Chain A
């Protein structure tokens, strides 16, 4: 029997994330917590992207738009004095789902690279739309003074409580995706990725399955955006930019597309690398670029793939 390397790593990473607040408190390193928050929030979005990209074969190049939509769902109510999380969170999820439904209905008519580009097009439209809305700060964005309120239940202003809220969302996203891909619905979507015609001839309305999947992923990413808006106390159209959509794709591919924990690993490695390299040298893009190329050329299947190889070798 092979040793379960992958399971070990999964447990270890989740455990490490769970005890991190205590650890950083003891070591007097509060910044680590900020870094971990950013990683977990982006990982949540990456996990949702993985659902459509890794399992469903729908390469969305506009996923950052949902993060922006979620963040604006914190910011715009706050701008009018509405801080209740019971308003903001459902608004974020609802807006994300609606945007996914409308754009997905059009995007899913296309395949392959045409799908990549049309998702990009919609994200760019959202980006330019928010740039032009001067009321909400235009390109500069707006700041919010306090996070979403859940009076009496959670104090989001407390870093530790907010941290565990984010962790719950991350774990929840992982759980949701694992349930979906193992359900009949998820099987149908994965089947459509490999052979759409066969699934159709088996009587599956694959368009509707894929659309549903796309909407779920959009809603999840918008929830991540809701976290991001709260974390930053700030929202701007820049969050929707295509470079951010690209970053999410890299997290998924780096970690291993179509593996449950891949996006999380990708987010951890990419953000820590960026943070460390950019503090060390202004020529960091050179090094990071070389690393990315090397990963693709020599490590198929991303980090999760490397772990799997390790597992087989032992």
Chain B
């Protein structure tokens, strides 16, 4: 039944991939359009998860809590944009890195103050807590399928928004040439706020999707932020399509590395060395991938044109 395991792992990779996409989409838009390095993007992911924790226990309904928490994260995104980010677009990347690192510390401290240091679980309703049996004896937790479905739906929605709507046209214009978009008489400031908040809401949604699996934790966003950056670098900054493909690629490589690398390594070295080497290699895999891609394509797989 080797291929049953393989299909399960494909689904696991897909789930991780769409989660990374939710996080990376906002990051790549903000970076591509505003040229803004936002280290605090992970904090919005964390805040989304914590909003969802509180709302779930207050309302007693997980789906309702997610809906409200997404709106709350959207509003928080607007606030962060107006108070901090907006003043940093004209600065160089170093100032942005320093200030948004300050934001990370600030949010981590604030969560510690409000929710305490312990991890916060989210209880899923029974209909999400079970498993779904697919043909040929493949079983997958229902909630993981839900994550995949929501992630794909958001991806489709976002690609539609970017390619088919007027706002999307402005976003694309902004990503490939900011000054040009401004010259077209677009209210650039409003567009920026909107894009930032949209990214925040998607990051928050990702946090809400992962919290029922791993709990909401202080610093959860810092851990995954680096991976999200890897994704947008591989995909090419500013490219939604690139982010989507890179997220799936990174998700698959991570899961497949963890699943099959030790068996593979045992073919070429003794068991003892394979046991030591394979966890290290699978942890390094995505960085090796990124370094390799950048060596051959210094601006990622799908860089937007005319930058």
| Interface contact B230-A117, CB-CB below 8 Å | yes
Q: Which of A59, A283, A300 contacts B113 (CB 8 A)?
A: A283
Instruction: Provide the bound-state CA to CA distance between A287 and B300, in Å.
Output: 37
A116-175 interface (Cβ within 8 A of B): 116-118, 120-122, 124-125, 128-129, 131-134
Instruction: Provide the bound-state CA to CA distance between A284 and B84, in Å.
Output: 20
Which chain B residues border A110 with CB–CB below 8 Å? 294, 298-299
**Stretch from B50-58, B86-94, B171-179 contacting the other chain:** B86-94
Interface string of A210-246 (1 = CB under 8 A from B): 0000000000000000000000000000000010001
A296 to chain B, nearest CB (A): 4
Instruction: Provide the bound-state CA to CA distance between A110 and B299, in Å.
Output: 7
Instruction: Provide the bound-state CA to CA distance between A288 and B291, in Å.
Output: 33
Q: Is A292 an interface residue (CB 8 A)?
A: yes
Which chain A residues border B105 with CB–CB below 8 Å? 285-286, 288-289, 292
Q: Which of B104, B229, B284, B294 contacts A289 (CB 8 A)?
A: B104
Q: Is B280 an interface residue (CB 8 A)?
A: yes
Q: Is A257 an interface residue (CB 8 A)?
A: yes
Q: Is B99 an interface residue (CB 8 A)?
A: yes
Which chain A residues border B101 with CB–CB below 8 Å? 246, 250, 289, 292
The main secondary structure of chain B at its interface with chain A is: helix
Q: Which of A53, A253, A291, A297 contacts B87 (CB 8 A)?
A: A297
| Interface contact A128-B295, CB-CB below 8 Å | no
The main secondary structure of chain A at its interface with chain B is: helix
Total count of chain B residues near the partner, CB < 8 A: 44
Q: Is A27 an interface residue (CB 8 A)?
A: no
| Interface contact A59-B93, CB-CB below 8 Å | yes
Q: Is B106 an interface residue (CB 8 A)?
A: yes
Instruction: Provide the bound-state CA to CA distance between A125 and B287, in Å.
Output: 7
A239 to chain B, nearest CB (A): 17
Which chain A residues border B154 with CB–CB below 8 Å? none
Instruction: Provide the bound-state CA to CA distance between A287 and B283, in Å.
Output: 33
B224-238 interface (Cβ within 8 A of A): 226, 229-230, 233, 237
Instruction: Provide the bound-state CA to CA distance between A249 and B96, in Å.
Output: 12
Given A257-B94, A296-B95: A109 and B295 interface contact (C-beta under 8 Å): yes
Instruction: Provide the bound-state CA to CA distance between A292 and B108, in Å.
Output: 14
Which chain A residues border B283 with CB–CB below 8 Å? 128, 131
Shortest Cβ-Cβ A-B pairs, 6 listed: A286-B109, A292-B102, A289-B105, A132-B280, A289-B106, A285-B109
A-B contact pairs, 23 of them (CB 8 A): A106-B295, A109-B295, A112-B93, A114-B294, A117-B233, A117-B294, A122-B287, A125-B287, A125-B288, A128-B280, A249-B98, A250-B98, A253-B98, A284-B109, A285-B109, A286-B113, A288-B105, A291-B102, A292-B102, A293-B84, A296-B95, A296-B98, A297-B84
